[in-house]
Each structure stands twice: as C-alpha cells, then as structure tokens.
Chains A and B, each alone.
Chain A
Amino acid sequence: MKLSEPGQTNDASDDAVISAQGVVNGFGNRIIHDHIDFEVRRGEVMGVVGGSGSGKSVLLRTIIGLNRPREGSIKVFGQTVDDADNTSMRALQMRWGVLFQEGALFSSQTIAENIQVPLREYTQMSQSLMNEIASLKLSMVGLPEDTAWKYPSELSGGMKKRAGLARALALDPELLFLDEPTAGLDPISASNFDVLLRDLQKSLGLTVFMVTHDIDTLRATTDRIAVLVDKKIKIGTIAELRKDDNPWIKEYFSGTRGRAALDS
C-alpha cells in the first residue's frame, strides 16, 4: 500500500520528518525488516533499540540512502530517498548530519578541516569564518580548542566521536542521525554526551534519530523509542513500552540493568 495522493510531497504540511512505509530489508534469504512502518516527528528525539543483528544500523543506513530497501519507501522531509536524483539528494544531505559509530573522520585531514568539509562543499565562506565556525563547533561538543589542528589518529575514541558530531553539526542540520553515540565512552563522558545532545536539541530545534544500546541515554534524551523486535518495529515512550508483553521488550526494560537505570 503506497500513499501517493497529490500534495503528499510537501513536508511543510505535516510534522513527520521521516516516514517509512512497508520497508523490507534483508541479506540473502534472511529477512531483517518485514514491512515496517514508522514516523519520526519534527523536533523529537527518537531512540532505536534492538538485539544484536536486529538491523538497527541497517535501518539507519536505509534512511540515509546508503542501503536500498527491497520493498517499501522512506521519505525524509517529504522526499523519497531511494529514487531521489542527485540534486534532490544533495538537498537532503544538506539538511541532515550523520554521526557514524567510530566517528568516520577523514584520516588525512585535521579535525578543523574535517568540520569544514561540508562548509566548503555547500557554502562560499571565507577561510577565517570557517576557522571560527570550526572552533565554535568544537566548543559546542566540548572539545578543547587545540583539537582543531590534530589528526584523527591522535584522538581517543571518545574524542573522535565528539569530533564526528561536530562535523555532523557543521551545517546546522535540522535532522541528526547518531549511530551508537555513547558506545565505548566512559559513564561520565556518556552522561555529558546526553546533556550535550539535549542542549543542542533544545537550542537548535533538532530532530534526532539515534541508534543506541545505552539505556541511560535512552532515559535521559529520548522522547520516544522504537524497538526492533521479531523483524517488526514497536514505537512508544518508555512508560508505554514497559507495559508491553513482548518477552524481549520485557527483558530489555525490566531486566536488572533496565530496572536499575529506569527506576533510579
């Protein structure tokens, strides 16, 4: 079932930033997503959870156009991702920022140059303004000033993630994709990250789509949570999901770790 009534293409009319209809993904004979539908609303932080191999990262890659779904379609800002031509894809890419799991910084460039890549590609700024903006973004994600002239290989894992976030934020995107932003961070950095994300979201009015395993991050930052379970997706607030009967969801939110994080 496809929604194709006229007037559907404009994103100004509704508040769904991402909407997926009947998405099917799989590798070989193995189906990972079996006709899933969901929406992410403007200005919300949505967390995505699921067991290992449940296709969280695949879902993220499908939304940003790195992976073509077998069936179904995904619209971001009203634009269908998998049949977008170059121009409209670039238009989309300007409006979102993506933070990959390991930061995915360009290793041959300094951190400042990394942050300036999107600025250089999409705007005609003077070098001095770009330097100022790079240094501004670094301070926004809580990295010291001198990080700007370092190379990615000189940074720790947590710093790489922050630098990756600074690059994702370079164009002041409306939509931010985060792939396990707190995995591998110490608890203090992770909770700083939660605060940072909440702050940025409030100040910039971001919509955030975040894959994470970290139940503390979920509690601290998300408005709604999408659970990938049994090839389907279930969406709700933490309170709603805690009442769900599905054994995996039950285990996730009511297991020892879940309870410790949620009831504190």
Chain B
Amino acid sequence: MVTLSDVRPVEERAWFKTEQRKNVFHFVVGGDWTLPEAPRLDPKLRALDLSKATEAEIDGRGLEKLDSAGAWLLLRTKRALEGAGANVRSFVIPENYGPLFGTLEREHNAPPTREPVDQPFLYRLGRGFMETMSQGYQMLGYLGRVTVETVQTIGPQKKLRWKAFIHQVEETGINALPIVGLLSFLIGVVLAYQGADQLRRFGAEIFTINLLGVSILREVGGLITAIIIAGRSGSAFTAQIGTMRVNEEIDAMQTIGLNTVDVLVIPRVAGLVVALPFLTFYADVMAMLGGAMMCYFDLGITFPVFLRQLQGAITMETFLVGMVKAPVFAFVIALVGCFEGLKVERNAESVGRLTTRSVVESVFFVIVIDAGFSVMFSILGI
C-alpha cells in the first residue's frame, strides 16, 4: 500500500531541538514539517517538558517546508508554552510561511471541542420506547388517511389514476411472475420430499398429497408470495418514494396542489391489492406442480392419481382460506412501504435505513396477521 511518504520523498526529515538555558527555553525546528512527518513529531512534541520555562524563543529558520499540519504542530507547541506561563519573546519562521501561520493563528483559537458523550442506557431505552409508540401512532393516523382517501377514490367524486394503477399491477404482479413461480415450485418440491420421507414409514405415502394440498393452499402459498413481494415491491415503494423525497419531488407535488396520497400511495396500494391474490393463486398452482413432480419421481404417483387424491383432500374452503388473506397482506405491505417512503428525510442514508425497516416491518406484519387469521379460523371452526 502506498503511504504519503512514498510519494513525497523527504530527504531531510523534520527535526527539532530544545535547550533550556537558565530560564529561557530554546525551541529550534527545521526540515520538512509536513503531514507525512506529523504522526512522528506529534507524540514527541506532546512529551516536551515545558514547565520550567518562563521565557521562550522559537526559531524556525531551518524550516524547508511547512504545510498546515506542520504549522498546527508548531502553533500548538507555541500555545502550550504560553499556557505553561512562558513568555514567547521571539518567534521566527521563513517569510513565505508567514501568511499560512498567520491564518491559522487568527482563525483557530478555540480548543477542540469534545465529542458528545453517549446517553445512559435507561435514557436510550425510554427514548426508543417513545419512538416506537409514536411510530405506531403515526402509522395509525396514516392508515386512517389512506382508508378515507381510498374510499373517496372509489366513490363518485374522484377517479382512480388508472395509468399509474395499471403500471403498478404490471410492476408488482406480472414482473414478479418468474421469481414467485420458481420459488413456489421449489417449495412444493421440498414439502413433498419431506412429507413423503416421513409418511413412508407408516406406508401412508399417498397422504403426502393431502399434506401438500392443505399446507400449500391454506398457508404456505400465500405466505411465501407475501414475503417475496414484501422484499421485492415493499422495498421498491419505500426506495422510490424516499428518493422522490430526497429530490424534493414530494414537496414540488404538494406545492402544485397534487395530493401525495392520491398520486403515489393509492395506485400502489390498489395495484398490489389486485395483483397479490392473482400471484398467490399462481404460486399455489406452481407449488402443487412442484409437489406433483416430486411425487412422481419419489413415490411413483402419476399425475392423474395425484389429481384424484388431491380432489378428495381439499375443498373450495381450503383454497379460499388461503386466498382471502392475500388482499390483506397486499394492503399492509403497500401501506408500510409507502408510509416509510414518505418518512424519508432529505439525505441518502435515511433512504437505506427506512427501506430496510419497511421490509422488516411488512414481513413482521404479514406473519402476525397470518397468525391472527389462524386463530380466527380455528375459533370459527373453518
């Protein structure tokens, strides 16, 4: 690795001499007092014993090079002498470095401020709690606002922005088909393989199909799709809206009189609410295909047999229980994505931070809501 001293060859390195004659402290410096030399000079200068001096003379006539780092070290030593009660009665440096030294001496007079210390643990805990609560409160308010405006959009007064809506359906739905399809297919394969492995011990291989049908249609298909979309589209919403926030585009919209919820949030929410059920259906089909393939290769169950068994295993209800959750997941993912995007501050770092948070929050909510549905269905006996 290159360091500074390799590029700025220093024939005569920086040096200094000190001499105490009676009460006069002589400080003679010379050579290249430059940045590459500073790390070497710094500890030696700090270690100087200045306590006995009452008069001091600084002689810098031997200086060949001086940059601001070197000038600072010189200035610091001079101030340390003065601070120790010495009277600096002469101070000589080559004429051409006068302006640099003068500028520093004039401009830099405050001692370096200390870094603010970290707050105690309890303070941070309390603060974190208050922030979480206020985040929840804000989100509730935002949920209300989006709900009211969505109702208005569907109602007679306003019209949905169709172009933006169609674009969102394409972006979040159609463009997600390959990845959702592939992953669901693989999940089907894995589930079938694991199920077959266990059930074979009881000679109940054929029930692998029941296992597949119920678990995929009720839970896995919808959950996997929602989680993929939270990572894919929820994060995109936050990043898109957040970047617009950084560029002041959101402010510009508001001054023109456009309603940001109307323009940015509702097309995204509506688009995803429409797209996610279709994606979930598609994921169900792909996962069943994956399972069917595995059943054929692993258990020798042919496709017609697979379908006949599946028909006996599941009902319309099983399918609908999975599907009914999709719009709710979609609503939450889009809502969280847009909400975090609108909270971005005017710096690039907050885009990244809030995008991460948006994905974590929406996956969290998806799973919590899924659990809620399970409890509800079991109470209802479905």
Contacts and interface: CB of A to CB of B under 8 A. Distances in A.
B99 A171 contact: no
A142 interface: yes
B72 A123 contact: no
B76 A171 contact: no
A152 B6 CA distance: 33
Contact of B113 (A125, A148, A152): A148
Interface string B90-130: 00000001011001100111101101100000000000000
A123 B108 contact: no
B2 interface: yes
B345 interface: yes
B348 interface: yes
A122 B35 CA distance: 10
A67 interface: no
Interface stretch (A16-24, A179-187, A198-206): A198-206
A153 interface: yes
Contacts of A171: 4, 35
Interface string B3-23: 110110000000000000000
B67 interface: yes
Interface residues of B, number: 36
A4 interface: no
A149 B104 CA distance: 21
B107 A142 contact: yes
Given A95-B7, A171-B4, A203-B99, A153 B112 contact: no
Interface in A138-156: 139-140, 142, 145-146, 148-149, 151-153
Contacts of B39: 123-126, 129
A124 B107 CA distance: 26
B43 interface: yes
A172 B104 CA distance: 14
Interface in B325-365: 345-350
Contact of B108 (A107, A140, A148): A140
Contacts of B115: 112, 149
A168 interface: no
B208 interface: no
Interface of B: 2-4, 6-7, 34-36, 38-39, 42-43, 67-69, 72, 76, 97, 99-100, 103-104, 107-110, 112-113, 115-116, 345-350
